[in-house]
């Protein structure tokens, strides 16, 4: 599927056993802030500070590091649950299909990262029903493409091809000022992600 954008082979995130995310391949790491529109709906991603990267860097997974986004070893003493909860099923198996007049939408609810880009103009699930209207169609594409988790994917009705944003292989450190919270990590551009048990997750253009 075209939405499985392929990053260079070296770009990889490995979930280490009871430890941090081990990121290899000099993957750029940058703050990405959820920024609202006038109506206070999530609207834009605003890039911020970039962090130094290298052939291998370790990113905090337990949430306790004092050197975030990097690991400072706090996971060794912290009380946290290191169990991976993400589904291993391919996206197409997880996603429900919703056919609109001008676009098709796939929705894998379990992947939601609660960034709320799908909320403007009555939510994407209402918009998809109006995608014979060019404005509603454009907004539907925008909302799906801004979804960091890749929960939402729109595709062309004729070709069936996903309409994906061009994202460079990179990791976004998500900041959500409206909810006063940080995270998740946003893996962009088809970076390979490997479980602590050595098995790969499906490669996707957007994952959180
Ligand atoms: S992650 Fe995607 S589906 Fe979930 S709230 Fe954000 S935009 Fe909506």
**Residue 76 above 90 pLDDT?**
yes
* CA 117 to centroid of ligand 1, rounded, Å: 6
Mean pLDDT along residues 23-49: 98
Grade residue 115 by pLDDT with cuts at 50, 70 and 90: very high
What confidence tens digit (pLDDT) does each residue in 39-75 have?
Answer: 999 999 999 999 999 999 999 999 999 999 999 999 9
**Residue 153 above 90 pLDDT?**
yes
What confidence tens digit (pLDDT) does each residue in 95-104 have?
Answer: 999 999 999 9
Task: Out of 37, 115, 127, 185, give the residue to mutate to test ligand 1, the one with the largest number of ligand atoms within 8 Å of its CB.
Answer: 115
Beta strands across the sheet bearing 152-156 = 96-99, 103-107, 152-156
Classify each residue of 133-166 as buried b or exposed e, where b means 16 or more C-beta atoms within 10 Å of its C-beta.
Answer: eeebbebbbbbbbbbbbbbbbbbeeeeeebbbbe
Q: What is the mean pLDDT of the chain?
A: 95
Task: Out of 94, 95, 112, give the residue to mutate to test ligand 1, the one with the largest number of ligand atoms within 8 Å of its CB.
Answer: 112
Q: What is the pLDDT of residue 10?
A: 81
**For residues 65 and 167, what is the distance between their CA atoms, to the nearest angstrom?**
28
* CA 112 to centroid of ligand 1, rounded, Å: 5
pTM value? 0.93
**Residue 84 above 80 pLDDT?**
yes
Q: What is the pLDDT of residue 2?
A: 40
């Amino acid at each position: 599927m075209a939405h499985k954008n392929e990053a260079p082979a070296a770009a990889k995130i490995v979930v280490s056993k009871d430890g941090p995310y081990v990121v290899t391949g000099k993957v750029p790491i940058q703050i990405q802030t959820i920024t609202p529109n006038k109506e206070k709906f999530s609207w834009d991603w605003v890039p911020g500070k970039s962090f130094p990267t290298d052939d291998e860097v370790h990113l905090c997974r337990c949430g306790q590091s004092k050197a975030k986004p990097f690991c400072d070893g706090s996971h060794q003493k912290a009380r946290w649950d290191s169990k991976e909860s993400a589904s291993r099923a391919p996206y197409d198996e997880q996603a429900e299909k919703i056919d609109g007049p001008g676009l098709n939408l796939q929705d894998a609810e379990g992947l939601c990262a609660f960034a709320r880009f799908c909320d403007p103009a009555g939510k994407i699930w209402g918009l998809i029903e109006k995608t014979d209207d060019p404005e509603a169609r454009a907004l539907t594409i925008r909302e799906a493409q801004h979804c960091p988790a890749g929960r939402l994917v729109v595709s062309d009705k004729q070709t069936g091809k996903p309409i994906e944003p061009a994202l460079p292989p990179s990791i976004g450190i998500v900041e959500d000022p409206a909810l006063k919270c940080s995270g998740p990590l946003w893996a962009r551009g088809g970076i390979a992600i490997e479980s602590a048990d050595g098995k790969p997750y499906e490669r996707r253009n957007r994952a959180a």
